[in-house]
Amino acid sequence: MEKERYDYIDTLRLCSILFIVLSHFDGECFYYLTGISMMQTHLAKNGRLGLLMYGWTGKYALALLCVISGFLTAMKYAGKKECDVGEFIISRYFRLMLPVMASNFLFGIVLKLKGEPVNVRAYLKTALIPGWSEANRNLWCIGSFLVGNILICLICYLQNRSFRPMVLYPGLLLLLVLLGDVWLLATVAGGFCYEAAWRLKQSGLAGNWWLLVILPMVWLLPRGEESTVIYYRDIAAAMLIMTAFYCLPVLQRLFACRFLKPLKKCCYSLFVVHGMTLFLLGPAWNLVQRLGISGGGGIFISLFAVIFCIDLLAAYVVYYLSEVKLYRTIVKGFLPDR
């Protein structure tokens, strides 16, 4: 499949990650400094943007990110006669974990140079074990990404041996609901979403009129206070979003946004590093204060801009080290045929 056909998915993934970064900044930085949560204030049911965006939380963005991850894995093996599960596990592990390794190494050195204590054991565990979040509590969902992707790969493997994925997916999803693993469920749901969307597109039933049905549902499903039920509704909304984008070329063209390619390339590294720059929050706050910026909105935007620029710089470094240099070298060592 041509790379250009992924542009809209890359844009959706970037939007998800940016919203997650913003929500973590609001809850972990701005609220810590001021006692005010701008997102809870403005996106609350009775807030200024509540009518449009009530229920739009970091968890909603995470649900979409998980669904995208599973969707892409299922899309990767669509129409292929072979599915090497072992090769996929190796390549996927390094794809997810090398940025974590690089960011831990980078920030470990920075903290050491600042004379601050570094828990080497915690950093090593976080760097090697998917979902271990002792050194960066924002990385707990990576384990769900990896396990969910492997389960989807196994379904693709069984599909090549005459098993029907539309039979396998519902049983697996029901099991994950019973186990209560919401984000693993969201990732596997992405694979199921691709299978359903592909069949819908092949049927020729999907048209632009679909937006009249899907947009109200995407608006309605996430509305509510955070709970497990709302998380399931977030997943359903994310699946509707991916189905609409996959079936409707007009949305794909609208969200291609090729001018955002530099940001799209490093967005996963941005997701990995964004929780590790909090030790610079104090200097960033002092800078905003020295500039004389006042008012809640002005301080919020200015402080976020400073922290985001630091995150973005770190993300590019991590992206270059891990996703450009190390990934190619290591995967070629483990998988010389790739």
Number of C-alpha atoms within 13 angstroms, CB side, residue 41?
A: 11
In whole angstroms, give the CA distance from residue 290 to residue 97.
39
pLDDT confidence of 2, banded at 50, 70, 90? Answer: very low
Number of C-alpha atoms within 13 angstroms, CB side, residue 171?
A: 7
* Per-residue model confidence as pLDDT tens digits over 186-238: 999 999 999 999 998 888 877 777 777 888 899 999 999 989 999 999 999 99
Q: Quote the pLDDT of residue 168.
A: 92
Q: Quote the pLDDT of residue 214.
A: 86
Our measurement of the distance from residue 315's CA atom to the centroid of its chain's CA atoms, rounded to an integer in Å, reads 15
In the predicted model, is pLDDT for residue 4 greater than 60? no
In the predicted model, is pLDDT for residue 151 greater than 70? yes
The identity of residue 105, as a single letter, is: F
Average pLDDT, the chain: 88
Other Cβ atoms less than 10 A from the Cβ of 282: the count is: 10
Q: Quote the pLDDT of residue 93.
A: 94
What does DSSP assign to residue 248? -
Other Cβ atoms less than 10 A from the Cβ of 52: the count is: 10
Dihedral, CA of residue 256, residue 64, residue 276 and residue 21, to nearest 10: 70
List the alpha helices (DSSP H) in 114-181.
120-128, 142-159, 165-179
Our measurement of the distance from residue 258's CA atom to the centroid of its chain's CA atoms, rounded to an integer in Å, reads 19
**b/e for 9-21, b at 16 or more Cβ within 10 A?**
bbbbbbbbbbbbb
Q: Quote the pLDDT of residue 204.
A: 80
pLDDT confidence of 80, banded at 50, 70, 90? Answer: confident
pTM of the model: 0.92
Residue among 322, 308, 321, 323 nearest 277 (CA): 308
Q: Quote the pLDDT of residue 173.
A: 95
* Per-residue model confidence as pLDDT tens digits over 267-325: 999 999 998 877 777 778 788 778 777 767 888 888 899 999 999 999 999 999 998 88
- 75 vs 165 pLDDT, higher one: 75
Handedness of CA 24, 228, 188, 337 (dihedral sign): positive
Residue among 168, 19, 157 nearest 87 (CA): 157
Question: What is the end-to-end Cα distance of the chain in Å, rounded?
Answer: 17
Contacts of 17 (CB under 8 A, 6+ apart): 61, 65, 267, 268, 270, 271
Dihedrals phi, psi of 204, to nearest 5 degrees: 80, 10
Residue among 7, 96, 67, 30 nearest 322 (CA): 96
In whole angstroms, give the CA distance from residue 20 to residue 65.
10
Handedness of CA 38, 44, 47, 49 (dihedral sign): positive
Name the residue with tokens 């996959």.
246
Q: What is the mean pLDDT of residues 58-71?
A: 96
Residue among 201, 109, 212, 191 nearest 144 (CA): 191
pLDDT confidence of 336, banded at 50, 70, 90? Answer: low
Residue 245 near residue 251, CB atoms below 8 Å: yes
Q: Quote the pLDDT of residue 292.
A: 74
In whole angstroms, give the CA distance from residue 315 to residue 264.
11
The CA distances from residue 17 to 60, 150, 190, 211, 213, in Å, are 11, 22, 17, 24, 26
